[in-house]
Amino acid sequence: MELPVFQILQSFFIAGFWIAGATLLAEKLGSKAGGAIANLPSTILVSLVYVAIVRNPEYASEAALAAPLGMAVNTLFLFLFIVMLKFNLIWALLTSLAFWFAMAGTISLVGNITVFFSLSFYFIAMGSAFYLLEYRLKIPSAGKQTRTFRWWALFVRALFAGTVVASTVIISTFANSFWTGIFSTFPAVMLSTMTILTISQGAKFARAVGKTMVLASINIVIYAIAIHYFYPTVGVLLGTIISFLIALLFIVLIRPYLLRMR
């Protein structure tokens, strides 16, 4: 299949600057609000839109069903990243990425996985990770950061994040719907956000944002399920808008709990 160069470039720029802006907001708003905003559907949104354009909406709809399983792996990826970050960034990157690829490869060998299993696995993984971070490891939240912002850093962030999302679109032209769904939830936001914030604001702030992102990841699962139902019925544009608004509404609803976190 011929590579859709135009769509790949569009996904690179749109997703790249989206994620770069999200990390900037996290620094300006603090770890609670920033973590929730940073984990709004972005990689999966852009990936599935362009998968629908490159393949078709029905294919993207089926691929979205793999998202809960992918987010379960991502939540554990983020938990491991946060834990290992107490040593150093390189160690956190290597161990968490090795874990993600090992888990994704293992899942691919299992065969047919039901949506019920995917959702159950996700909520167990997310609930366990958040409980350990909030109540056992007692990762504290952090306020607004005051370090000087540099515009060149925004472009570096965009380059890093955009490359990951564009790679997902390329993979979708060759992979089956299961692997497309898995890679649509590749932890580009988590990976780039944690790396960027560690470098720019320090490990303590990055770990605080990561804790919020674990809980806020539920909105991505909600988004994926909504996409599965809305893409075939109302189309890609309207389906994306409705699904994103549903995910955004969830963040608004859990805001009181976010404010009460440690």
Closest CA to 180 of 195, 192, 162, 168: 168
Q: Within a domain: residue 255?
A: yes
Q: Which amino acid is at 97?
A: L
Alpha carbon distance 11, 15 (integer Å): 6
Residue 15, domain extent: 5-137+150-260
Q: Please report the DSSP string for 66-110 in residue order.
A: THHHHHHHHHHHHHHHHHHTTT-HHHHHHHHHHHHHHHHHHHHHH
Q: Within a domain: residue 182?
A: yes
Weakest-pLDDT range from 122-126, 170-174, 234-238, 241-245: 170-174
Rounded average pLDDT over 114-140: 93
Which pLDDT belongs to residue 65? 87
Alpha carbon distance 209, 33 (integer Å): 9
3-state helix, strand, coil in the chain (%, to 5): 80, 0, 20
Q: Within a domain: residue 145?
A: no
* Domain total in the chain: 1
Q: Is the pLDDT of residue 150 over 70?
A: no
Q: Within a domain: residue 11?
A: yes
Q: Within a domain: residue 142?
A: no
Which pLDDT belongs to residue 111? 67
Closest CA to 186 of 204, 202, 172: 172
Q: Which amino acid is at 262?
A: R
Q: Within a domain: residue 244?
A: yes
Alpha carbon distance 77, 195 (integer Å): 13
Alpha carbon distance 201, 209 (integer Å): 11
- Tell me if 60 sits within 8 A of 32, measured CB to CB: no
pLDDT in tens, 161-206: 778 767 766 776 676 666 666 666 678 778 878 888 898 889 999 9
Q: Within a domain: residue 43?
A: yes
Q: Within a domain: residue 13?
A: yes
- Tell me if 168 sits within 8 A of 1, measured CB to CB: no
Tell me the pLDDT band of 94, cut-offs 50, 70 and 90: very high
Closest CA to 209 of 217, 68, 44: 217
Which pLDDT belongs to residue 235? 94
